[in-house]
Amino acid sequence: MTDPGTAAQSLRAVLSAAPSGGELDYLEIVTNSGAVVMTVLFLLAAASAISWGIIWIKWRQLRRAQEESIKFLEIFWQSKRLDAIYQAAEGLSASPISQVFRAGYVELSKVTAQKKEGEGAMAEALGGLENVERALKRATIAEVTHLEARVPFLGTTASAAPFVGLFGTVWGIMRAFHDIYQMGNANLATVAKPISEALIATAVGLAAAIPAVVAYNYFISRIRVLDSEMTNFSNDFLNIVKRHFFS
């Protein structure tokens, strides 16, 4: 049976160890962590800061790409001259669809120039329409690559940050138990503080991973939509070129 005096002393020790107001002093927890846990927290904080920077940049880029693509498609279907569309596309550089059109138009201009110079056989050998199609595909791949730039870092942070935080927690718990063993006292007052220091690494890891995984999935879905729109536009543009230039 527990001695009432010992229980009362333990309770007083726990209350005296708790910070005023019943709240944990997280700054003190972080500053009192060991070197390994501090390194883990620094890495997670840096990854989180970089992730938020990428989220802001990619959100603005994709929003502008979508808005300018809508404007370009309106111009494309309303205009009757490809050269006028090309000039309008120069002012919509953030639109991946406009860049795909520009690549196709430049290749089409080369093919038609060869025909006007009487090099029909050469143009035919080079594949005329196939050249335009390859130019559209190359431009589409280049635009998708540009849109996906820096997005993989979000995926890496989303998948790795929880494990990095867990490593810091495991190391912190090992250190906590070592300190408990050295003191020879395993009551709640002794255990609470070092365990809190260890668990803060997992919390920071989750705080870095959750926004990253949400943003990664969102950006990938937006990029897939733009990729589909570029593919559909390429097919429509090829049909127009085939009817008017290779009929």
Backbone angles phi, psi at 202, to 5 degrees: -65, -40
Cα distance between residue 99 and residue 58, in whole Å: 18
Could you give the CA distance from residue 102 to residue 108 in angstroms, rounded to a whole number?
10
Q: Indicate the length of the chain as a whole number.
A: 247
Q: Where are the alpha helices (DSSP H) in the chain?
A: 4-17, 26-31, 35-78, 82-90, 96-116, 120-126, 128-147, 151-183, 188-245
- 112-116's contacts with Cβ under 8 Å and 24+ in sequence apart are 112/245
pTM reported for the whole predicted model: 0.78
The pLDDT tens digits along the chain (247 residues) read: 445 454 344 334 433 444 444 555 656 666 666 777 788 889 999 999 999 999 999 999 999 999 999 999 999 999 888 888 999 888 898 999 999 999 999 988 887 777 666 555 544 544 677 888 899 999 999 999 999 999 999 999 999 999 999 988 888 788 777 777 777 666 666 666 667 777 888 899 999 999 999 999 999 999 999 999 999 999 999 998 888 776 6
The full set of domain ranges for the chain reads 34-54+153-247, 73-149
CA distance 172 to 174: 5
